[in-house]
Amino acid sequence: MAFEGIDQHDQQFHVVVLRQTLDLTADGPVYADEQLPLCEEDAYFGEIGRSGVREESDLCQFKPKCDVIVNGTAHAPGGRATAHFRVRLIVRKADGSPLQLPEPPQGLNPLMAASPEALEQWARDCAALRGRNQPGQTLIDKTLVITGERFLQKSSFATSWGARVCRWLTLGLLRPVPWTLSAPAPCLKVPLRPELAFGGEFRVSADSPAAGRVPAKHRLSGSNADDGLVAHAAFAANPVGAGWSENWYLDAADVTRMPAPQIEWEDAPFDLAVFGQALSGGALPEQQQLAAFGVRPKGHPDRAALVGTIEEAFIVSDRWLPEDFDFAIWNAAPPDQQIEYPGGGEVIELMNLFPPDAPGVSVDQQGNTTMQFALPEHLVFVRVRLESGAYFRLPMWLDTMSIDTDRRQLSMVWRRIVGKTSDAPIRMLEAGVQSVEQRRERDRLFAEFDEQAREMEARHG
């Protein structure tokens, strides 16, 4: 598909975008029989506004980096129910040169041979390394913790009364949270959805029994009191999540039980201290980065800021975009899942995101499953033919990799922008694909041509 775009300097350009679908098989990614179409509008897991975004529209103008997005289900190691387990996403560059073998062992002096035991160990070390290459540079290494279902429960009257006495006796220096967090129930699998990560939102409508109990300072007024709402608040980093609320709302709505997050950071787990900070309106900096492998909401404060400065001067102008608009706003993955455009051959590893019996999965001694595959090395390009008859090719950029572990599929979205000028009007834009074999043959021919050119230059130079 091709369409037109415009940047913050009012420079127009053409956009060409192409989507490929590959099945993840035991032998690696292969082209799927059914190729999925471009995603033309944001797709949600469920009801819009009450569920997370599964994938964003492919029809954005430009992404400065490549999004790596994973949707699907987390599976407990060994297929055995457990209270919590880890999932992991690794992306690294293709392996490099062969690993260097260790030097043969030496004796106590140059005239003595090494011991048989040392020689046997050296032979074993060489055998273990032979045929292996240097691992490529790690681009992404992200671990999350999955828990079973758990709940926040408001304490009994006696416990709440005790908390008030504690605050009174310590002059407010100690403020216990009058809630408990249940132990996670054993789980076999948990969907990777933002609804199960930390976050949340609440609304109080005018016809709700809680409307009359909303404190005055939290009531909406004027133009903010739209759609019959009396009060509304959300954790902007993840409005559809769980575990976030504020004291005044829980009191007004008489909430005594609520679900807790089931997806959390390994080094910043959800606990009563985090919940207590939320209740008091704390900033929660460690929870601002969504604990997820999927799409980061457009309303996330860090992402929303990339739209630039929307002020009166811009609103009344005829400009399409603010001068400080950043195209990085179209990168939908969390920042730690954005990489430079892949060149092909990159290795992806997914831990505990496939069931143990899935084809192509390896299982370690602890029962952790790992699916590993390499990106195909084909070349995707756009043919550009000008009105003048001139013709050239431009490589397209792989700017979105979306992995669906439930469907065992990899979607790759390629994009290229081509400048639009009156000096060189374009007659045709056409996307094309060159297979790995064709690409290697092309590289071989170019290498031969370069070698012949160097030889001729040496003879006639």
Question: 62-115 pLDDT, tens per residue?
Answer: 999 999 999 999 999 999 999 999 999 999 998 776 777 787 887 665 656 778
Burial of 327-349, coded b for 16+ CB within 10 Å and e otherwise, reads: bebbbbbbeebbbeebeeebbbb
Q: What is the pLDDT of residue 113?
A: 74
Rounded to whole angstroms, how far apart are CA atoms 400 and 67?
Answer: 5
Rounded to whole angstroms, how far apart are CA atoms 77 and 292?
Answer: 19
Sequence spans of domains, the chain: 1-101+128-138+299-433
Is the pTM for the entire model greater than 0.85? Answer: no
Q: Is 358 exposed, middle or buried (0-12, 13-18, 19+ CB in 10 A)?
A: middle
Q: What is the pLDDT of residue 111?
A: 59
Rounded to whole angstroms, how far apart are CA atoms 387 and 303?
Answer: 40
Q: What is the pLDDT of residue 158?
A: 42
Rounded to whole angstroms, how far apart are CA atoms 129 and 125?
Answer: 6
Strand segments, DSSP code E, in 336-450 are 338-339, 347-351, 361-363, 369-374, 379-386, 391-395, 397-404, 409-419, 426-434
Q: What is the pLDDT of residue 115?
A: 84
Q: In terms of DSSP bridges, do strands 179-181 and 151-154 run parallel, antiparallel, or are they unpaired? A: antiparallel
User: What phi, psi does 251 have (nearest 5°)?
Assistant: -70, -45
Helix H or strand E encompassing 186: none
Q: What is the pLDDT of residue 409?
A: 98
Structure tokens at 137: 């540079």
Q: Who's near 320: CB < 8 A, 6+ residues apart? A: 6, 8, 10
Amino acid 256 reads T
Q: What is the mean pLDDT of each run of 10 residues along the chain (461 residues)?
A: 89 94 96 96 94 97 97 97 98 80 73 79 85 84 98 74 59 68 98 97 89 88 71 93 94 95 96 93 84 96 93 83 93 97 95 95 95 94 90 93 98 94 87 79 68 72 58
Rounded to whole angstroms, how far apart are CA atoms 114 and 147?
Answer: 53
Q: State CA 354 to chain mean position distance.
A: 17
Q: State CA 98 to chain mean position distance.
A: 31
Instruction: Look at residues 412, 430, 381, 369 and name the one whose alpha carbon lies nearest to residue 32.
Output: 412
Within 10 angstroms of residue 404's Cβ, the number of other Cβ atoms is: 19
Classified as helix, coil or strand, 377 is coil
Instruction: Look at residues 127, 136, 120 and name the one whose alpha carbon lies nearest to residue 101.
Output: 127
Rounded to whole angstroms, how far apart are CA atoms 288 and 197?
Answer: 11
Helix H or strand E encompassing 233: strand 229-234
Rounded to whole angstroms, how far apart are CA atoms 197 and 192?
Answer: 9
The answer to whether residues 6 and 321 touch, using CB atoms and an 8 Å cutoff, is: yes
Rounded to whole angstroms, how far apart are CA atoms 275 and 156?
Answer: 18
Amino acid 461 reads G
